[in-house]
Amino acid sequence: MKRITGIFVLSVYLLSFAEVHNLFKIPVLFQHFQEHKQEDPSISFWDFIKIHYMEPIVVDEDYDRDQQLPFRNADCCLVAASSVCECNTITVEIEPLPVLAEKFYSFNEVNKARKYSFAVFQPPRYA
């Protein structure tokens, strides 16, 4: 059950935040290639990729079909930039605290003061 739940959560995460949902459109890519192959039998797969992905977008009769291809448009853009700067090193020296001699108090019945022993806890009284 944990495995199924983990797979489900991972699938939801990948399909919602990443471009993994475009992988489900790969069959559309091959179907559209077959359509182009029927129109022009001399076209290669590389030419098909070049027309649809490397050249500027042309609005023609199969523009709507072209927009269904995977990774055709950027639904989600992410710009990540990082810079590395050299920082001056800061040296912090911490001096150890002096050890103070502590007096040890042992708990004996002899040392216990009688007047404080029943200050909080008192027996019930008869009124």
DSSP the chain: -HHHHHHHHHHHHHHHHSGGGGGGGHHHHHHHHHHHHHH-TT--HHHHHIIIIISPP---TTHHHHTTSTTSS-SS---------PPPP-----PPPPPPPPPP----TTTS-STTTTSS-------
- Residue with the bigger pLDDT between 82 and 91: it is 91
Q: Is residue 123 part of a domain?
A: no
Instruction: Label residue 114 by pLDDT band (50, 70, 90).
Output: low
Q: Is residue 19 part of a domain?
A: yes
Residue 15 structural domain? 1-114
Q: Is residue 126 part of a domain?
A: no
Q: What is the model's pLDDT at position 77?
A: 55
The structure's pTM equals: 0.48
The count of domains in the chain is 1
Most confident of 1-10, 25-34, 57-66, 105-114: 25-34
Gap between the Cα atoms of 52 and 69, Å rounded: 9
Instruction: Label residue 97 by pLDDT band (50, 70, 90).
Output: confident
Residue percentage of the chain with pLDDT more than 90:
14
In this predicted model, what pLDDT tens digit does every residue of 6-50 receive, in sequence order? 888 888 777 666 677 777 888 999 999 999 999 999 999 999 999
Q: Is residue 125 part of a domain?
A: no
Give yes or no for residue 110 having a pLDDT over 60: no
Q: Is residue 120 part of a domain?
A: no
What is the greatest pairwise CA distance in the chain?
A: 112
Calculate the average pLDDT of the chain.
Answer: 78
